[in-house]
């Protein structure tokens, strides 16, 4: 081996020794506690829901009217093996005699949401003073905060049956519908 070759071998050996000395590492650690509280929050977009029967043609019945302006928004972190549901009930006021008001939820909008958003009940519910399921199987999720984010509610008001049509009177009244998000143990 010539002088240049010996110098290269010595230089490479020196670099390996220096690299090996610089590669020593020391470590330390500490305990980090992580806590995610469970919560469930609910609100609406506060859209006014106004239902007014149109005047029918002479000899015709009044027909049902609908409004789909209201959206429900939620945020949910579930503990362990639980799920939630959204229910609805009339908390104040009375549906006028001879009529009924129904409610159905659409699936949650997906533009600004994430997680396990649950499943809307397939058929509409007739509102009463008793809580009834609208959406079930909700787990950890969020629906978004935009005006049209969340579960779109469709209210439909109309005569409840031809037999009760004679009970319908001209009236202007309000009812209050309460939406609740609840927690239940998953099966």
Task: Delimit the domains of the chain by residue range.
Answer: 39-185
What pLDDT, on a 0 to 100 scale, did the predictor assign at position 38? 86
Taken in order 140, 146, 152, 157, the sign of the CA dihedral is positive
Taken in order 20, 22, 24, 25, the sign of the CA dihedral is negative
pTM: 0.82
From first to last of its 187 residues, the chain has per-residue pLDDT tens of 666 655 555 555 555 555 555 567 889 999 999 999 889 999 999 999 999 999 999 999 999 999 999 999 999 999 888 999 999 999 999 999 999 999 999 999 999 999 999 999 999 999 999 999 999 999 999 999 999 999 999 999 999 999 999 999 999 999 999 999 997 665 5
E strand residue ranges, 11-131: 39-44, 65-67, 71-77, 82-92, 99-105, 114-115, 119-120, 125-126
CB 99 within 8 A of CB 168: yes
For 4, 12, 83, 129, 137, the CA distances from 179, given in Å and listed in that order, are 86, 75, 17, 12, 16
What is the pLDDT, as a whole number, of residue 81?
82
Residue 118: name the closest of 128, 105, 103, 100 by CA: 105
Q: Given this structure, which CATH class describes domain 39-185?
A: mainly beta
d(CA 86, CA 81): 18
C-beta separation of 118 from 139 below 8 A = yes
């Amino acid at each position: 081996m010539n002088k240049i070759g010996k110098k290269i071998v010595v230089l490479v050996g020196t670099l390996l020794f220096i690299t090996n000395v610089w590669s020593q590492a020391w470590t330390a650690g500490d305990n980090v506690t992580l806590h995610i509280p469970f919560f469930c929050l609910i609100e609406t977009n506060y859209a006014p829901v106004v239902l007014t029967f149109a005047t029918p043609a002479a000899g015709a019945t009044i027909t049902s009217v609908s409004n789909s302006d209201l959206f429900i928004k939620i945020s949910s972190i579930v503990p362990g093996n639980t799920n939630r549901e959204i229910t609805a009930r009339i908390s104040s006021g009375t549906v006028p005699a001879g009529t009924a008001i129904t409610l159905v939820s659409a699936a949650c909008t997906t533009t600004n949401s994430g997680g396990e958003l649950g499943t809307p009940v397939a058929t509409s519910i007739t509102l009463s003073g008793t809580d009834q399921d609208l959406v079930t199987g909700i787990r950890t999720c969020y629906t978004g905060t935009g005006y049209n984010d969340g579960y779109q509610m469709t209210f439909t008001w109309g005569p409840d049956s031809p037999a009760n049509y004679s009970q319908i009177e001209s009236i202007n009244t309000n009812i209050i519908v309460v939406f609740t998000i609840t927690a239940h143990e998953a099966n």
